[in-house]
Chains A and B, each alone.
Chain A
Amino acid sequence: NAGVMQNPRHLVRRRGQEARLRCSPMKGHSHVYWYRQLPEEGLKFMVYLQKENIIDESGMPKERFSAEFPKEGPSILRIQQVVRGDSAAYFCASSPTAIKANYGYTFGSGTRLTVV
């Protein structure tokens, strides 16, 4: 049973380009959560999605960032017109539909975005 899969592992983008980060949840999981870790900083929650729905986007920057989790395929975190401050590690986690009140989330290995 594969864990949470993220790709690419490393992504280099020039300023102004778009970055697309993909997260495939564990088999049978329909909830996905994205986190960002800036250099030398802690992990910060960004967004929580269920299939075709955004549940909580309270941690998402107001501009240039968007996320989706379509009915088919992986969840996508999209960053438009990247700037150097977007350079960070982006992690996602997933959970099953029928979730217990408290659950130990499994995280992927992350995507390291470098903006040059």
Chain B
Amino acid sequence: DAKTTQPTSMDCAEGRAANLPCNHSTISGNEYVYWYRQIHSQGPQYIIHGLKNNETNEMASLIITEDRKSSTLILPHATLRDTAVYYCIVRTPTDSWGKLQFGAGTQVVVTP
């Protein structure tokens, strides 16, 4: 199984871009990178996912390196409500649908 490595925690100033790194050096060619977040006491929230190309939606951007061994989630203008644990997940195609392997994630604290 591909595994991910994320920093334990990081701080970000409100209004600034938050860049969350994730290493997945053993990722296979057909495995997608997913990002979810969990705000305290709430259920996980899907953010974005990608395979090779960079992706952008209304919440964030996902930058995947050309060798696919790492990626960065970018929150363009962090707000206090973005304080959460952010999970980078590599989904193994052989896993059944819905089987996501959450790690410890990165605790992001956005400060005023």
Contact = CB atoms under 8 A, between A and B. Distances in A.
Interface of A: 4, 31, 33, 35, 42-45, 48, 55-56, 58-59, 89, 91, 93, 95, 99, 102-110
A45 B38 CA distance: 15
Contact of B46 (A56, A58, A59, A105): A105
Q: Which of B34, B49, B87, B96 has the most CB of A within 10 A?
A: B96
Given A58-B99, A110-B42, 10 more contacts: A4-B43, A33-B98, A42-B105, A56-B99, A59-B99, A93-B44, A102-B49, A104-B49, A107-B44, A108-B43
Contact of A45 (B42, B46, B99): B99
B97 A42 contact: no
Contacts of B48: 104
Nearest to A59: B99
A48 B102 contact: no
Interface residues of B, number: 25
8 smallest CB-CB distances across A and B, nearest first, come from A104-B46, A107-B43, A33-B98, A56-B96, A43-B102, A42-B102, A107-B44, A45-B99
A101 B13 CA distance: 36
Contacts, number: 63
A58 to B, nearest CB: 8
Contacts of A106: 46
Nearest to A103: B97
B91 interface: yes
Q: What is the interface of chain B mostly: helix, strand, loop, or mixed? A: loop
Contact of B98 (A42, A48, A108, A109): A48
B46 A95 contact: no
Contacts of B44: 43, 91, 93, 107
B23 interface: no
A31 B104 contact: no
B80 interface: no
Given A42-B104, A91-B44, A110-B43, A105 B98 contact: yes
